[in-house]
Structure 1
C-alpha cells in the first residue's frame, strides 16, 4: 500500500479500533503468549517475543497486560495456537493475505471463507496471491516524529531499506531479518514507534475507486473483527480524496 493511503486507512478505522480496544488487546496477548511459548520468556532473548511486545507497546497496551501474557506462557497456561495463513481476493481484483492464530483450524477457515463471500470477496487457494508480496519488516512513526528529511536520515543511519512519508506519518521498510536491529536504532533517535511488525509488502498496487474502496474496507474490517485473525495485508491503494469521502 502507498504510504499516504495506508495511513489514511489507519485513520479511517481508528475510531472503530478504539471501540474494539479490548478485542485488540486480546489478540496482542495471544501473540505475546504464543511468542513466549516458542522460545525464552525473555524479550531480550526471544526476537519474536520482543517484536510482539514492541507492537503491543505501540498500541498502548498496559505493561501489566503484557507481563500477564508472558507469565501465562511461563505457567504453560492457555490453549495451544497454530499459525495459519489464508489468501483471497477483494473487489477490484485486490489481493489479501489473512494471518491468524487458532486453536481450531476448521472453525477459522470456515469463518474466514464466510466473511470473504459475504463481503464482496472470495477466498483463494494457498499461494494464490502471496507470490505478489514480499515478507518484510515494517515500522510506522507518526508525523510528530520529525520532518521527512530528519526521519529519512535516521532511517539511513539505522540501516532501513525504504521510507514513505506524508503529512499523516512515516512508513519504514526493512529486510525481515534486520527489523529488530533497525527498530532499536530508530527508537534511540526518534523515540518509540507506533508499530513494529513483520508485514507483507505488495510488488504491485491496485488502485480502487470509491465503491470498491467502501466494500473493500468493509471486508477488511469484518476479517479483523474475527477473534482468530491477527492481521490483514493487501495490495490496494486508495486516494486521499476517496478516503475523505468515506470518512
Structure 2
C-alpha cells in the first residue's frame, strides 16, 4: 500500500479531535467554494464540485456548512485562492507531492520548504517528481458495500482501470477524464462513495526502514496540518509493525 494511503489510514484510526476536525472542515469548505467558482454551483453539473461534496459528506461535514460554502461562490464572497503544486524529496529520497490553495504564495512556499528541510529532505522544481506518479481518478467505498469480486466486476463495467480492495475499503482507479461517469455508475449500484476525486498515484513504491518511515510520516502529518495544504502524496511503503505502532 502506498505511503499516502497508509498515512490516511493511520490518521483515521487515531480519530479526529475537535481542533483537527475544524481545520479539516475549513479545507473542505475551501475546496467546495473554489470548485463552485470555477464551474457551475450545481454538483450534478460540476464534477469537481460533486467530488468536493462527496469528500465533505464522507467526513460528516454538516449540510449547512456545505451549502454555505457553495453560496459563498455564487455570491462572489471569500478570498481568491491560487492552486499550487509543490514537489520535493523527503527522508530517504522519497518523492512527495503537495497540493495547496493559498492567498499568499510566499508564505506557503516558505512554510512548505522549511518542513522539507527540517525533515532532512528538500523542495524541488515543479515536475521534479510528478513524472513518477499518474494523475488518475479515485472512487472509494467502505469494504462492507461489496465483495472484492463484485466491486471489480462493477468497476470494469463502469470503465475503471484498476481496483484495490482490502479491509480498509475499495479503491477504484480510472482515467481522470472519466471520473464523473465512473463515480455515477458505481454510486447507482453501491450508494454514495466515501470519496471521489483526482489523485496522484505512484507508479512504483519504495520500501523504507522504520526510522525513515517515522520521519516521513511526521513530515506528511506536518504538511497536512498546514492550513493551506489540501493533499499530500508520496511513493513509499512502511512495515506492518510501524503502521501498527503509529496507529496506536
TM-score (norm 1): 0.94
Kept in 1: contact 2:91–2:119 (CA 8 A) = no
Where does the alignment leave 5 or more consecutive residues of structure 2 unmatched? none
C-alpha spacing 1:169/1:6, structure 2 compared with 1 (3 Å): farther
Alignment of 1:107-126 (within 5 A): 107-126=107-126
Kept in 2: contact 1:7–1:168 (CA 8 A) = no
C-alpha spacing 1:223/1:160, structure 2 compared with 1 (3 Å): same
Whether 1:11 aligns to 2:9 is yes
2:242 aligned partner:
242
Alignment of 1:131-170 (within 5 A): 131-170=131-170
CA RMSD of aligned residues (A): 1.5
Alignment of 1:77-92 (within 5 A): 77-92=77-92
Number of residue pairs the alignment of both structures matches: 245
C-alpha spacing 1:11/1:239, structure 2 compared with 1 (3 Å): same
1:93 aligned partner:
93
| Secondary structure of 2:192's aligned partner | coil
2:29 aligned partner:
29
C-alpha spacing 1:71/1:196, structure 2 compared with 1 (3 Å): same
Kept in 2: contact 1:8–1:168 (CA 8 A) = no
